Amino acid sequence: MKKSSENVADPDKLADFTVFRRVLVAVAFSPRMMAVLNEARKLLEKFETQSIIVNVGPDTDKRRELLKKALKASRLDGVAQNVIIQGGHPADVIVKNAVENEADLIIAGALKSEGRFKYALGSVARTIARYAPCSVLLLTEPQVEPENIDTIHCVVEYEPHASSAVQAAAFLSRVCDINNLYFTHSFQMPKPVGTNQALKLEQIVQQYALQDDQLKTYLNGFDFWGKSYIPRCLHEKSRNTTLNFSREVQADLIIIPAPHQKKSFWNRLFNPESDIMASLPCAMLLAK
């Protein structure tokens, strides 16, 4: 996604941003291949976009024929402008082609758990998300018969580059006609001063009010084309606080800003030791 150089996007300019106009769909020959293709098609029909299909593996006539049949059987048939088959490490090939084709978005299947392969898949997903030059949509449970996106949960950070997450949420809420749009900002509660319980409670209430005002002020800098949304500040008690909120509101998609520094949400939540795919409650869009 093309981003503004300002801390908060100018509402008058936001509608002119180039959002997801060139999409790379990464597909593998797996049981979920058709589901990924159909999910991608449902999203692509919402955008004015060019699409590229990338399959990692040896470029043989047999492989091309199998991929051609899969595309023909899927809802993506006739939509893809370019089909690329290339050998190499999956993450490297996908990132390389995203760079060369100036993609705005990568769509890929990302299984939560697949027996003994879950950690390898998690590693590939983390590599793509971290090094891709563009936004990345990881589909944890793609469906052959895709359902509409009804609820989006967007994580807010106040760093200049992180406005891309809010911009993506605003764009998707408009083109996908989202019914429920949530924005959350997680914060650490300062240690209360004194031992008086009533005073401690008052300090907690004041801190929530301060955080709520900051979030509302920040979101006021964006254009949501008349769509309503719910802002919510979360006391980050653990790395699961934000994901638990997604579960509570039954989000279909969680949008988070791309990693940029050690204290970013991505690095706090998805450290190298954690199993990212097992932690996700729904599909995830990493906005860049």
Residues 8/218, Cβ–Cβ less than 8 Å = yes
Question: Residue 285: which residues within 8 A CB-CB, separation 6 or more?
Answer: 135, 136, 137, 138, 168, 253, 254, 255, 256
Q: Is residue 174 part of a domain?
A: yes
The pLDDT value recorded for residue 210 is 95
Q: What per-residue confidence (pLDDT) applies to 25? A: 94
User: Residue 205 maps to which CATH number?
Assistant: 3.40.50.620
**Alpha carbon of 118 to those of 144, 159, 277: distances in Å?**
21, 32, 8
- 24, 244, 224: which is closest to 155 by C-alpha? 244
In a domain, 68, yes or no: yes
Residue-level pLDDT at 260: 66
pLDDT < 70 regions, the chain: 1-18, 77-78, 80, 111-122, 192-194, 260-279
Count how many domains the chain has.
2
Q: Residue 83 has what pLDDT? A: 92
Residue 3 inside a domain? The answer is: no
Among 88, 114, 139, which residue terminates a domain? 139
| pLDDT digits 0-9 by tens, 207-249 | 999 999 999 999 999 989 889 999 999 998 877 889 999 999 9
Segment holding 256, helix H or strand E: strand 253-257
DSSP 8-state assignment for residue 30: S
The rounded distance, in Å, linking the Cα atoms of 250 and 117 is 27
131 and 193, same domain (yes or no): no
Residue 198, burial from CB neighbour count under 10 angstroms (0-12, 13-18, 19+):
exposed
Which range marks the domain in which residue 258 is found?
Answer: 151-287
**Residue 163 shares a structural domain with residue 36:** no
Rounded to two decimals, the pTM is 0.85
One domain, residues 24 and 127: yes
Q: Number of C-alpha atoms within 13 angstroms, CB side, residue 48?
A: 3
Residue 158 and residue 119 share a domain? no
Within-domain flag for 244:
yes
The domain boundary, picked from 139, 160, 190, lies at: 139
DSSP H or E stretch at residue 266: helix 265-269
Q: How far apart are the first and last CA of the chain?
A: 6
Look at residue 6 and tell me if it is in a domain: no
In a domain, 212, yes or no: yes
